[in-house]
Amino acid sequence: MYVLVVPCIENPACRARGITTDEDLRHFSRAVERCRHFSIDMVPLPCPETIYIGADRPPGSYLDRLATPAFAALLDRLEAEVRAVIRERGEAPLALVGVDSSPACGVTATYYSSVKQPGRGAFLARFPDIPAIDVKEFARYRIYLAGPLFSEAERAYNLILHDLLAVHLFDVYLPQEAGDTDPARCGEEHGAIFAQNLLALRDADVVVAVIDGADADSGTSWEMGYAYALKKKIVALRTDFRVVGHHERVNLMLEESAAVVTKKEDLPRALGSLLPASP
């Protein structure tokens, strides 16, 4: 199992001068962490811009510096090298991991001209048969699983969701593993559990929330509100067929703060999984 990654994820010096922010570095680091956590090989792509122009270069668009026959010939050669690597490995990569806005390695946006436009950069566009993901999305893999955990059935269902998401290469935090299942816990334990869950919420990239029931679990609702205030992505799962209004499956504040899916099998796709629906 491997991904093809643009080299600046492991070596930001490959990027144009002055464009790498602290946020970029955090995303790059998280991407590397994800690969290590799930034993995903990171196979570096060549950097066409560094080869063609040099490492210490100012930012520029494709039309500014790369729209030449010589650069097109370079891309021909580099594409052939990458496809040879794929053949040698005997399996297709999970994805190309690129950096948006790059004129060569953008995934969903690129500076073709002085204005950013949708589409892949010139190099990644050579591989339309391989899925591509921006490093910011690839780095978003740590999930806080919010949901009721008071009955045996609820805890068992949370474990099913945990295992489903782990198979799809997500690292899942389960609050029930913090000890929040004992009705005899003391006040001191309350504070410790609250602090641990709060830290996990802050550290998570995404919150997945189970909002089944005539009304969603109050703790889950609080966690969703806190995550929304932190501007985190929230995906809510509601398999309950009951509705509370003509246009509401559940409380509108919860629905409007999250992407809602109605089957657990749809969670990986909503989270941007790199694997097929049934790996």
In this structure, are 78 and 161 located in the same domain?
Answer: no
In this structure, are 9 and 72 located in the same domain?
Answer: yes
In a domain, 114, yes or no: yes
Is the distance from CB of 135 to CB of 31 less than 8 angstroms?
Answer: yes
In this structure, are 67 and 88 located in the same domain?
Answer: yes
CATH code where residue 157 lies = 3.40.50.450
Domain end position, chosen among 84, 105, 138: 138
Is the distance from CB of 236 to CB of 55 less than 8 angstroms?
Answer: no
Q: Cα separation of 146 and 178, whole Å? A: 13
In a domain, 277, yes or no: no
In this structure, are 87 and 129 located in the same domain?
Answer: yes
In this structure, are 127 and 14 located in the same domain?
Answer: yes
In this structure, are 102 and 64 located in the same domain?
Answer: yes
In a domain, 149, yes or no: yes
Name, in order, each residue with C-beta under 8 angstroms of 251's C-beta and a sequence gap of 6 or more.
215, 216, 221, 244
- Residue 109 is classified by DSSP as E
- Residue 45 is classified by DSSP as P
Q: Is 277 left (phi over 0), alpha (psi -120 to 50) or beta?
A: alpha
Interval 53-62: pLDDT, tens: 998 889 889 9
pLDDT band with cut points at 50, 70 and 90 for residue 180: low
Q: Cα 89–105–138 angle (5° rounding)?
A: 70
Domain end position, chosen among 138, 161, 194: 138
Name the nearest CA neighbour of 272 among 105, 137, 118: 137
In this structure, are 165 and 212 located in the same domain?
Answer: yes
Helix (H, G, I), strand (E, B) or coil at 238: coil
Given this model, what pLDDT does residue 255 score? Answer: 84
Given this model, what pLDDT does residue 45 score? Answer: 96
In this structure, are 119 and 28 located in the same domain?
Answer: yes
In a domain, 22, yes or no: yes
For tokens 């089944």, name the residue: 212
Given this model, what pLDDT does residue 165 score? Answer: 96
For tokens 């909002």, name the residue: 211
Interval 82-99: pLDDT, tens: 999 999 999 999 999 999
In this structure, are 193 and 72 located in the same domain?
Answer: no
Number of domains within the chain = 2
Range of the domain at 36: 2-138
In this structure, are 133 and 146 located in the same domain?
Answer: no
Interval 181-210: pLDDT, tens: 566 566 677 788 888 989 999 999 999 999
In this structure, are 88 and 9 located in the same domain?
Answer: yes
In this structure, are 164 and 131 located in the same domain?
Answer: no
Is 278's pLDDT higher than 60? Answer: no
Q: What pTM was computed for the model?
A: 0.85
Is 279's pLDDT higher than 50? Answer: no
